[in-house]
Amino acid sequence: MGSRLILRCRHVLVLVVLVVAAAAAPGALPLRGGAVSSATAPAFDPAPARASLERLLSSRARQFTLVPVGRTGSGDRFEVSGGAGRIQVRGTSPATLLAGVGWYLERVAQVDIGWPGDSLGRLPAVLPAVPGTLARSANVPHRYALNDTDEGYSGAYRDFETYRRDIDLMALHGVNEVFVPTGAEYPYYRALQEFGYGAAELREWIPAPAHQAWWLLQNMSGFGGPVSERLIEARAALGARIAGQLRALGMTPVLPGYFGTVPPGFAARNPGAATVPQGKWVGFDRPDWLDPTGPVFDRLADAYYRVQRERFGDSDMFKMDLLHEGGRPGPVDVGAAAGAVQRALEVAHPGATWVTLGWQKNPTAAFLSGVDRDRVLILDGLSDRYDGLDRETEWGGTPYAFGSIANFGGHTSLGANTGVWAGRFHAWRTAPDSALRGIAYLPEATGGNPAGFDLFTELAWEPGPVDQRAWFAAYAARRYGGADPHAAAAWEELRLGPYSTAPGTWSEPQDSLFTARPSLTATAAARWSPAFSRYDAATVERALSELLEVAPALRTTDAYRHDLVDVARQALTNRGRVLLPRIRAAYEAKDLERFRALVREWNADMELLGRVVGSDRRFLLGPWLEAARTWGADPAERDRLEYDARSILTTWGGRGPSETGLRDYANREWDGLVRDLYAPRWAAYFASLDTALTTGTTPVAVDWFARDDAWAREHRRYPTAPTGDPHALAEEVRTALAAATG
């Protein structure tokens, strides 16, 4: 009896200390008004949220008071209230406090912090008062972000400050779980040295950073290497900082789990081990798969998780895909293998959730039969792509997140199936016996399509279906820091066009023919991109005209300049789909005069496109390449890393994988690429056709891979700062389109 009384007293003392500490925390207010009870006493420090706010808003951050409140059974929530210059935000985690600030900025202050682009320059010196109380509760517990491929296609050579900025933006938009692959080679590198491998041969096996995502997915190995020990250590240090930053904000770093990838010869070096050859993936030799039901798997998994925990800290969510994109089970029972992988995870991290991608045929019924499905979260990468989906039946009630892959490879294409998101998410979430437990923001690269990011992440905070038309109208009113009829008209056109593409076949817009390998019959740049325009291109031209008329006071915002360049780029790009069939028709008709006139227009459009994208830093190749070189310890390593960064955008791999289908997969309309790679190869192609028409001969065949690979191995420097006036250049685009050849 006495011991129980002492224990109760200790509990009361701890509770009092937590309440007092929260009340005394920087930015906290005394608890009052029933906002928090002793049963939900705050137990986190809002200081990390305060630091994020100061990075985002500078001196205006002082006008916010951040109050931590306890999380109840209903999950994360925030409340925003207060008078002018005295805004109070209450939230259930540091990240949720930032989400509350984000809603205040958008709904009350009428400015936008997008990914990318912002209108913070339009904030008044004294922030406006909140009418009443602005409150939201998350309608799902999982608000996940980042595709497995994000690091490769968004930039594998970013620094911590850039990653931290991205984390701040994700928190501001309500995300609470983020995939962290940076430094994922480290536990493999250290653990496998305990299983018969030397450091040097492992550094040959591990790909260069831009290609590591596909190695983690068990699709390929070795490309772009060897990596240096220094690079492995530096990336591990960065990954640990990223994970630590997420934890500080109360967000979950989702770490790569171990499911059996091993280097060649593993079974020969480890008696009792059985491995299954995985064949090829788009021309690459895949790494072997260690049978998880065998006696060696548990020991290797234990070593992997031990090293990972020591370097990156703990987590309760781990991402891994068994037999991704054509992986072969061989004689291994898939259900038993999945169960063994989950048990190894459970031993290392009791109660952890296995996160896996819903993609193609995965996860299969066999996979799900072998696991505790309550501790699995499926990120549905196809929620908005196809019709007739029944995830509850297909996945047997396994928890899943509504996901979208709105771009592949990081294409610079405007658009997404936002109309599908607006209604389908709520309908699925509220359906009887729904297993939907989250959202999953999964573009293959981030930092483009800011409207899509904004709308998709809001799904998790709206109690009902989103009115897509009303949402875009509100977005237009805040995007440039003030309501404007021309901005409203522009975004209504964009909503009707690229942001209202239909499901059934695709989740991304078409890519650019300007970035395609030259051919008169080209219909896409990347092999798996849509072969046709998925919306009426006239909507983008009308949007451009409207944006050009936006009030001068709003044109100074970063968001306006970005969007103007992006829309002008897209309008010019869409013209390519009209021009190329006409050029083909003229060529086949042997109409040399018309052929030359159309080619002149094509070449002029590409020249103008190069100048347009060169006017905004988000469309520059230079920073991408310079970042890669900064990670090299010596000239040879700097050159290898630059090739890694160049090739991922162009050839992707060597001749075999490139020609099998990976070439131009990640095509970008960026300055440097447009002017120095895409435009010259189209000009050379059309020149060969001109010669053929003139002489009556067959066009000379070009080894396009050799040409592109030579560019990928160059070391020419490109601008790292934009040049030109975006408004004047966008006006040139409008004029050029109006004068286009009929």
Q: What is the pLDDT of residue 24?
A: 35
CB atoms within 10 A of CB 66: 25
In the prediction, which pLDDT does 17 show?
31
pLDDT computed for residue 357 by the predictor = 98
Mean pLDDT of 273-285: 97
Instruction: Give the burial class of 634: count Cβ atoms within 10 A of its Cβ; 0-12 exposed, 13-18 middle, 19 or more buried.
Output: exposed
* Residue 280 token pair: 């090829």
pTM above threshold 0.75: yes
Mind listing the pLDDT tens digit for each residue in 292-305? 999 999 999 999 99
- Each domain of the chain, given as residue ranges in start order, spans 2-137, 180-375, 557-738
What is the distance between the alpha carbons of residues 264 and 54, in angstroms, rounded to a whole number? 49
Angle subtended at Cα 315 by Cα 310 and Cα 319, rounded to the nearest 5 degrees = 105
Alpha-carbon dihedral sign for residues 560, 566, 569, 571: negative
Q: In this predicted structure, what is the pLDDT of residue 742? A: 65
Question: Average pLDDT for residues 692-719, to the nearest whole number?
Answer: 96
Segment 432-436 mean pLDDT: 96
3-state DSSP call for residue 441? Answer: strand
126 CB neighbour count, 10 Å cutoff = 12
Q: What local confidence, expressed as pLDDT, does residue 33 receive? A: 28
**What pLDDT is attached to residue 71?**
87
594-652: pLDDT as tens digits = 999 999 999 999 999 999 999 999 999 999 999 999 999 999 999 999 999 999 999 99
DSSP structure class, residue 619? G
The pLDDT of 349-371, averaged and rounded, is 97
> Angle CA(627)–CA(683)–CA(644) in degrees, nearest 5?
25
Q: How far apart are CA 574 and CA 497, in angstroms?
A: 12
Cβ-count burial 480-494 (b if 16+ within 10 Å, e if not): bbbebebbbbbbbbb
Q: Which of 472, 509, 516 is nearest to 494 (CA)?
A: 472
Mean pLDDT of 354-362: 96
Q: Cα separation of 405 and 428, whole Å?
A: 18
pLDDT band with cut points at 50, 70 and 90 for residue 34: very low
Specify the CATH number of the domain 557-738. 1.20.120.670
Which pLDDT tens digit goes with each residue over 158-168?
A: 999 999 999 99
Residue 74: the pLDDT is: 73
Banded model confidence at residue 270, pLDDT cuts 50, 70, 90: very high
What does the mean pLDDT of the chain come to?
94
Measure the CA–CA gap between 469 and 657, rounded to whole angstroms: 43
pLDDT for position 73? 77
Residues 204-226: tens digit of each pLDDT: 999 999 999 999 999 999 999 99
Longest dimension (CA), the chain: 105
- Cβ contact 148:357 at 8 Å: yes
Can you read off the two tokens belonging to residue 608? 């103008």
Q: Are strands 142-145 and 436-441 parallel, antiparallel or unpaired?
A: parallel
Estimate the share of the chain in helix, then strand, then coil, as percent rounded to the nearest 5. 50, 10, 40
Q: What pLDDT band is residue 126 in, cutting at 50, 70 and 90?
A: very high
Best CATH choice for the domain 180-375 from the list 3.20.20.80, 3.90.730.10, 3.40.50.920, 3.90.1150.10: 3.20.20.80
pLDDT tens digit string along 722-734? 999 999 999 999 9
Any residues with CB less than 8 A from the CB of 659 and at least 6 apart, and which? 283, 705
Distance CA 276, CA 423 (A): 43
pLDDT tens for each residue of 1-13: 343 333 333 333 3
Pick the CATH number of 2-137 from 3.40.50.720, 3.30.70.260, 3.30.379.10, 3.40.50.2300: 3.30.379.10
End-to-end Cα separation, the chain, in angstroms:
93
Asked if pLDDT for residue 27 goes beyond 90, the answer is: no
Q: With 60 as the cut, is the pLDDT of residue 22 above it?
A: no
φ and ψ of 306, to 5 deg = -65, -50
pLDDT at 387 over 60: yes
Q: Which range is least confidently modeled, 54-68, 71-85, 253-267, 376-390?
A: 71-85
681, two tokens: 């190869």
What are the residues whose beta carbons fall under 8 Å from the beta carbon of 741, sequence distance 6 or more? 579, 582, 597, 598, 601
DSSP-derived secondary structure for 154-166: H-TT--HHHHHHH
